[in-house]
Amino acid sequence: MFRCLKVYWKFTYKCASGLDFKLLTKMRIDIITVLPELLQSPFSHSMMKRAQDRGLLEVYTHNLRDFTPYKHGQVDDYQFGGGAGMVMMPEPLANVLEHLKKERDYDEVIYMTPDGAVFDQKTANILSLKQNLIVICGHYKGIDERIREHFVTKEISIGDYVLSGGELAAAVIVDAVGRLIPGVLNDETSALMDSFQDGLLAPPVYTRPADFRGWAVPEVLLSGDPKKVDTWRHEESIKRTAERRPGLLDS
């Protein structure tokens, strides 16, 4: 998978470097939320802003309350069988999902939930090749199971802890996926050199000055010999991975 992605990236980055962005596919992400305000800032700066300014990424938020047939914008209710905590009702969710799906085909309908598959770089790589994604942000006790059964195609957790809602988790995956869209990063190699891309953590990095308070940059990085630098970086990646995440080396 990573090998194919590398070839695809190299090709599309070539297109991007010729500034012919028309050749690049655009990704559209529709996020369903009860707190659209929470999702404004994460996509208005830095790389996510650049991706949108370049027409490579479109992110839309949809307020679930706009799709409820119930009074006062109600979107949640008590759970059948009793117990604490509210559940997000199926009807507003079905309404917004059907409204979006009428407009275009979606590759995935993703539900952000702590009991989903744990998000990783491989999933980010795969999602970065998609064109249209829907992301549902859960709240309270979660969404009615029937929506999971009949609409959701992928369930993602960003880690084994519980957030108060899926919005921050959605922001994490949009960022991780969005930066991989060819043309978003300026430097073709930087996504390929990320931690986890080859199953290893990234090596240490240094910048000027070469000597800071008597702490010197490793000699090899100043050698001007790219082969030696590559070998050193690879060795450092392995060393760092063995020390910090030995499990990655097993797989």
Interface positions with ligand ADE (CB under 6 A): 112-114, 138, 157-159, 161-163, 166, 169
Q: How far is the CB of 115 from ligand ADE (least distance, A)?
A: 9
The residue among 114 and 183 lying less far from ligand ADE, judged by its C-beta, is 114
Q: How far is the CB of 144 from ligand ADE (least distance, A)?
A: 16
The residue among 38 and 192 lying less far from ligand ADE, judged by its C-beta, is 38
The residue among 64 and 112 lying less far from ligand ADE, judged by its C-beta, is 112
Q: How far is the CB of 139 from ligand ADE (least distance, A)?
A: 8
Amino acid at site 228 = K
The angle formed by the CA atoms of residues 13, 41 and 191, to the nearest 5 degrees, is 25
Cβ distance 34 to 137 under 8 Å?
Answer: yes
Cβ distance 249 to 241 under 8 Å?
Answer: yes
- Cα four-point dihedral sign 224, 226, 232, 238: positive
CA distance 5 to 163: 32
What are the helix (H) ranges across 105-225? 121-128, 145-150, 167-178, 188-192
Q: How far is the CB of 170 from ligand ADE (least distance, A)?
A: 8
Q: How far is the CB of 7 from ligand ADE (least distance, A)?
A: 31
The residue among 19 and 162 lying less far from ligand ADE, judged by its C-beta, is 162
The residue among 6 and 141 lying less far from ligand ADE, judged by its C-beta, is 141
Question: Which residues, in sequence order, are bridge partners of residue 220?
Answer: none
